[in-house]
Amino acid sequence: MWGGRFTAKPAELMQAINVSIGFDRRLAAQDLAGSRAHAAMLRKAGVITSQDEAAIQGGLDTIEGEIAAGTFPFREEFEDIHMNVEARLRELIGPAAGRLHTARSRNDQVALDFRMWVRDACDRTIGQLKALQAALVAQAEAHADTLMPGFTHLQPAQPVTFGHHLMAYVEMFGRDAGRFADARRRMNESPLGAAALAGSPFPIDREMTAKALGFDRPTANSLDSVSDRDFALESLAAATLCGVHLSRLAEEIVIWTTPQFGFIRLSDAFTTGSSIMPQKKNPDAAELVRAKVGRLMGSFTQLSIVMKGLPLAYSKDMQEDKVPTFEAFDALELSLLAMAGMVADLEPVAPRMAQAAGAGFSTATDLADWLVRTLDLPFRDAHHVTGAAVKKAEELGCDLSELPLSELQALSQGIGPDVYEVLTPRASAASRKSYGGTAPDQVRAQIKRWKDILA
């Protein structure tokens, strides 16, 4: 493709380090779409004839069919997807193929293809996040009243409902979807027409190609157009944070399935056995999702390091942008699908959860709040009285709800028998009626809100 300047072929080692068709063939659909839009624009601008455009479009259609059928001859001698398509186009239609590259460079071509691929990946990810959220909402709706312990420091803190706990992840994944949508909005500018780095002397219409390819507008600076990979970095950052959220949920699934917790069961569909221990049922799907965040974070770090020292505009280093991005979105897609499957599959063990909801004096805060509301104690005084009540219950080996009234009255004389109404886990959860709280009515209100959002 540059034989006029060179008289010898690249060394085999140079060819090995330079070739990218092994991975950038994934950009074929985007490359063909960009070429179609570019050819149509060149014809309208009078740069190429209608006959040449028709030949080019027909050849591109043939290439698309060959790729779909698996018969396209991907060849390393042509380095990348752009040159493979152009070489095959020349074989199909002859010299007219050479006119397609008028007013563009591989620099703006790859910037366009890669941006379109990442844009498509963000759209797919948003859809996958919504499917996971829908699975969480369905479980939350079925278990808006199911008690479980809420934790801080992984110690029993206050009773909550399982539905409330799951809805926390709906919020987290909603923010993730918002980040991908924000990244998509910012990347939705077309670099096509920036050419190598300085723009083109031909009378091209960048607005036309941008519109044809679904972009809001063309990019405003030709140097930035070919050197920018912020769109990939921002998307990888969003993927990393999404992976963190997936990992947190996966960790809880791993914990909840242990016999020590026994909060949920997973079916055979999302567990594996042991080659030596016949009793084992391992939550391997959750464990693998938990580990995938390493791949996501690694991809973000890898591309950050590639880009951090590059001068404007394009450098060959940027060929290393695609593999980490492809790998990250592959890992994220698999993780989201697996997590949605596990969430739909899991079966809460409600009696075990309810039993654990009352453990560890989890209604202690309810006693303190009752003292404030009923006896008008300052909260710090109520906190002190409640702490003494917990200590006495520990001494007697009972729960707060089982502590004799005489013991409670010894700590604060105004306490009456109605205090026991707030000392059960169910009463505790039901009392948390503030917006966003764990009271079942509040949980159902958030479920309705999210069902409307996801509809």
Residues serving a catalytic function are: 153, 274
SS3 for 199-218 is CCCCCCCHHHHHHHCCCCEE
152 backbone dihedrals φ, ψ, rounded to 5°: -130, 140
Residues constituting the chain? 455
148 backbone dihedrals φ, ψ, rounded to 5°: -155, 165
190 backbone dihedrals φ, ψ, rounded to 5°: -90, 125
Q: 99 near 52, Cβ under 8 Å?
A: yes
Q: 378 near 385, Cβ under 8 Å?
A: no
Please, which residues have CB within 8 angstroms of residue 108's CB and are 6 or more apart in sequence?
Answer: 191, 192, 193, 194, 195, 196, 225, 226
147: DSSP letter: E
Q: How many CA atoms lie within 13 A of 369 on its CB side?
A: 14
258 backbone dihedrals φ, ψ, rounded to 5°: -70, 150
Q: 411 near 385, Cβ under 8 Å?
A: yes
Please, which residues have CB within 8 angstroms of residue 144's CB and are 6 or more apart in sequence?
Answer: 161, 163, 164, 440, 443, 444, 447
- How far is Cα of residue 147 from the mean position of the Cα atoms in its chain? 29
Please, which residues have CB within 8 angstroms of residue 368's CB and are 6 or more apart in sequence?
Answer: 379, 382, 383, 385, 386
Instruction: Extract the tokens encoding 124.
Output: 């797919």
The kind and range of the H/E element at 419 are none
